[in-house]
Amino acid sequence: MGNLWARKPLAQLQAEASDSDHGLRRALGPGALVALGVGAIIGAGLFVRTAAAAAYAAGPSVTLGFVVAAVGCAFAGLCYAELSSTIPIAGSAYTYSYATMGELVAWIIGWDLVLEYAIGAATVSIAWSEYLNKLLGLLGRGIPYAYCHSPFQVDEATGVHGIVNLPALAILLALTLLLIRGMRESAMVNALIVILKVTIVVLIIALGWGFIRAENHVPYIPAPTTFTDAQGVDHAYGGLRGIIGAAGIVFFAFIGFDAVSTAAQEAKNPKRDMPIGILGSLVVCTVLYILFAHVLTGLAPVAFFRTTGKEASVAKAIDAFMPGYAWLSNSVTVAILGGFSSVILVMLMGQSRVFYSMAKDGLVPTVFSDVHPRFRTPYKSNWLFFGFTGLFAAFVPEDIVGDMTSIGTLFAFILVCLGVWVMRVKEPQLKRQFRVPAVPVVSTLGVLVCGAMIFGLGWTNWTRLGVWLAIGLVVYFTYGRRHSRLGQSAG
């Protein structure tokens, strides 16, 4: 049983990182890494979760909820920055756990990340399909219900059953082909999408600022109270509890910056570029989020977001309170489509890189560590996960595949925070290009904040994660442990 806790030697990891002839191509600079992070973070979460947090938790003080969520992410982001610059290998938290806490913990987090990115990509591709239909509706067109919904869904108005979600499958295929073609090309497309959606966010902030009504921000922190929504669900609104609740809601809008760390082996100068990419993208998005939330809650009263707004709150608020800017309202749909596309791209990228690392270590079949002879990308991993996510996206409703990405992300954050602390103790002499300040205080705070958010996600999500991890342990003990390269070399 000793092999369960065997740690992968840092010297071996650093040798793999320097193998530029047989590994992944180093094509990403700091700007491309920041864009990857912004591409993964700014999705529909900004346009949907902001209004929900204002309506049901914090009112105008949703901006403070964003600050709390950002602080929690910053603790984890600092730890990611140290580990990714010290161990510049594909695989993110999986690789860091292997080096600090041993093979079994590494397997658990790798299996967890596979689920996080797979379910995340599938969920977002289904939402992409829905918004594509909304955009086509503006043009007087549309896709037949049967070909943009799963077999488990029925149109209540017509009784038509879904057959397959073709748009969701199509966007997954297009982005998989782009990733196989190369990281440089993928980063270029992602950068163009980021420019588009950030431009629209900035336009909403700049143009909406003049329409802010001061009375909508009074009181900025509402008095603590409880109200029941139309579905009979009680919400703790206002006060400190409301701000913390809003932080939990808008945390979904921050998911994605950790995916930057999966590209460490494709960074040109990882010791310098990885901290810039991870922390830079987090800072850019936090500033945009706070300004966006301030403008949105200033445009409309809280009651609007509870009733009229709902999921299309941003577009409807622009229509109702910014006369003459219907074009900006329509552009929100375009921004959401673009945001979804870049989120899917980065999640598919992160997923294949984690599996590539696990295959190189022998924990899953080594065929998935094959690199394309021309494009130098893990193309077999890309194809595997196109099939995996495609099945979910094409045939399973969104409400079943949703809600699992956050708990997987938070679990990874906790292990990364612990990993920094463990490595400081076990490898104190290791040269670190970037150092997390005040370890173990920052690491401990990261674990506590992320643990609190996991607690808030409820027992249904704990159960789903537990079942997935149980399946993973069966796979590990029947295949991974027997084929582990580290275990074989030690044996």
Tell the residue number behind the tokens 């010791």, with chain if given.
271
Please, which residues bridge with residue 161 across strands?
154
89 neighbors 265 (Cβ within 8 angstroms)? yes
Q: Would the pLDDT of 18 be above 70?
A: no
Question: Does residue 166 have a pLDDT over 90?
Answer: yes
Residue 435, pLDDT above cutoff 70: yes
Q: What is the pLDDT of residues 240-256, one digit of tens each?
A: 888 888 887 787 677 77
Q: One-letter amino acid identity for 345?
A: L
What is the distance between the alpha carbons of residues 416 and 391, in angstroms, rounded to a whole number? 30
237 phi/psi in degrees, rounded to 5: -115, 135
| pLDDT single digits (tens) 55-98 | 888 889 999 989 988 888 888 888 888 877 777 666 667 887 88
The domain defined by 2-490 folds into Amino acid/polyamine transporter I (1.20.1740)
Residues above pLDDT 90, as percent of the chain: 16
Q: Which residue has the higher pLDDT, 158 or 489?
A: 158
What residues pair up with 148 in beta bridges, in sequence order?
165
Kindly state the tokens that stand for 402. Answer: 């949703």
pLDDT digit string, tens, across residues 193-246: 888 888 888 999 999 999 999 999 999 998 988 877 665 667 778 888 888 888
State what percent of residues in the chain have pLDDT above 70.
87
Whole-number average pLDDT of the chain? 82
Residue 375 and residue 180 in contact, taking contact as beta carbons nearer than 8 Å = yes
Q: In what helix (H) or strand (E) does residue 234 lie, and over which residues does it extend? A: strand 234-237
Dihedral angle sign, alpha carbons of residues 191, 196, 200, 205: positive
Give yes or no for a contact between 468 and 111, defined as CB atoms under 8 angstroms apart: yes
Q: CA 229, 230, 235: angle at the middle one, nearest 5?
A: 10
**Whether 229 contacts 57, CB under 8 Å:** no
Give 1's pLDDT tier (boundaries 50, 70, 90): very low
3-state helix, strand, coil in the chain (%, to 5): 75, 5, 20
| pLDDT band (50, 70, 90) for residue 336 | confident
Nearest to 331, CA basis, from 138, 101, 116: 138
Residue 235: CB atoms within 10 A of its CB come to: 16
Provide mean pLDDT across the span 462-478: 88
| Average of per-residue pLDDT across 445-467 | 80
* 177: nearest Cα among 166, 165, 189: 189
Q: What is the dihedral of CA 176, 181, 184, 189, to 10 degrees?
A: -50
* Sequence ranges of the domains in the chain: 2-490
Residue 393's identity, in one-letter code, is A
pLDDT value, residue 430: 76
What are 154's strand-pairing partners?
Answer: 161
**2: confidence class by pLDDT, cuts 50, 70, 90:** very low
**What residues contact 104, with CB distance under 8 A and at least 6 apart?**
4, 5, 476
Neighbour count for residue 241 (Cβ, 10 Å): 14
pLDDT in tens, 344-402: 887 888 788 888 888 988 999 988 888 888 888 888 989 998 998 999 888 876 544 44
Range with the poorest average pLDDT among 24-28, 382-386, 428-432: 24-28
Q: Do 224 and 242 meet the contact criterion of CB atoms below 8 Å apart?
A: yes
* pLDDT value, residue 177: 93
- In whole angstroms, how far apart are CA 221 and each of 47, 228, 241, 344, 395? 21, 19, 11, 35, 43
